[in-house]
Amino acid sequence: ATSLLLMSVNANATFSMIAYDSSTGEFGAALASCVKLPSTTDVSSFLNVIVPNKGIFTTQASVSFPNTNLEQAKLKLQSGNYNGDQIINWLKANDQDSTPNIRQYLTLSKTQGFAYSGSQIPQSFGSLIGTNYVIAGNTLDPNVLTTMEQGFTNNTGSLKSKLLAALTSVEKANIGDTRCTKHGVSSHTAFVKVGTSSTFYNSQANNTDAIEELVKLIPNP
């Protein structure tokens, strides 16, 4: 039932981040979106893959389910024969639905990050690449990406703490994706994932902020 539901959902109105902690060797991801999902659905497994010691890849904007593009990215990360830019270029040339212009990708290895935003994804969209992190989003209020970056870089805790801070900085600034902020919230679904461990929250009401509720599930990141 979850797969059937997800087949009809685009992960638009999304802001996310992937990161690498060189001190622990961990990769992690954080994402928030205005997509409505069942309360028990952990969308991180559909949108993100982490290959230990190799890299991390996130798919967003329009995502088809099953997400064959993500599976191909995983295989190429596992092989160790492709850098992030090469994986993205391969996916653009071999998109599962021949619609690469509606995709948005983030990828990061231990040494380098890349992002791709198709020309037909919803405005406003963009990406930021820094040392050991990549941020990207679409259907955004102004300053969402830079606010995430500041929240992440200003936090001195664990990788999970830094990723959560990237999300909470947006929620506290009363910004987010434009479809949700009209309801006074930043997002309806959110997750933080480090390694194989993911914590998520999916709002079931328009006026419930997913990031605000996610924080309650991670009291001491």
Q: For 144-177, what is each residue's pLDDT tens digit?
A: 999 999 999 999 999 999 999 999 999 999 999 8
100/121 Cα distance (integer angstroms)? 10
Answer yes or no: are the C-beta atoms of 153 and 182 closer than 8 Å.
Answer: no
Determine the 3-state secondary structure of 133 from DSSP: strand
175/169 Cα distance (integer angstroms)? 9
pLDDT band at 10; cut points 50, 70, 90: low
Is a pLDDT exceeding 50 seen at residue 4? no
Q: Which amino acid would we find at residue 214?
A: L
Answer yes or no: are the C-beta atoms of 167 and 211 closer than 8 Å.
Answer: yes
Determine the 3-state secondary structure of 157 from DSSP: coil
Determine the 3-state secondary structure of 137 from DSSP: strand
50/27 Cα distance (integer angstroms)? 7
**Which residue in 198, 184, 27 sits closest to 217, CA to CA?**
198
pLDDT band at 181; cut points 50, 70, 90: very high
Answer yes or no: are the C-beta atoms of 98 and 64 closer than 8 Å.
Answer: no
Is a pLDDT exceeding 70 seen at residue 13? no
> What is the model's pLDDT at position 122?
83
- Looking at residues 126-152, what average pLDDT do you find? 96
Determine the 3-state secondary structure of 33 from DSSP: strand
pLDDT band at 12; cut points 50, 70, 90: low
Is a pLDDT exceeding 90 seen at residue 138? yes
Q: For 38-92, what is each residue's pLDDT tens digit?
A: 999 999 999 999 999 999 999 999 998 889 999 999 999 999 999 999 999 999 9
> What is the model's pLDDT at position 3?
40
67/57 Cα distance (integer angstroms)? 12
Answer yes or no: are the C-beta atoms of 58 and 18 closer than 8 Å.
Answer: yes
- Kindly report the backbone phi and psi dihedral angles of residue 68, in degrees, each rounded to the nearest multiple of 5, phi listed first: -65, -35
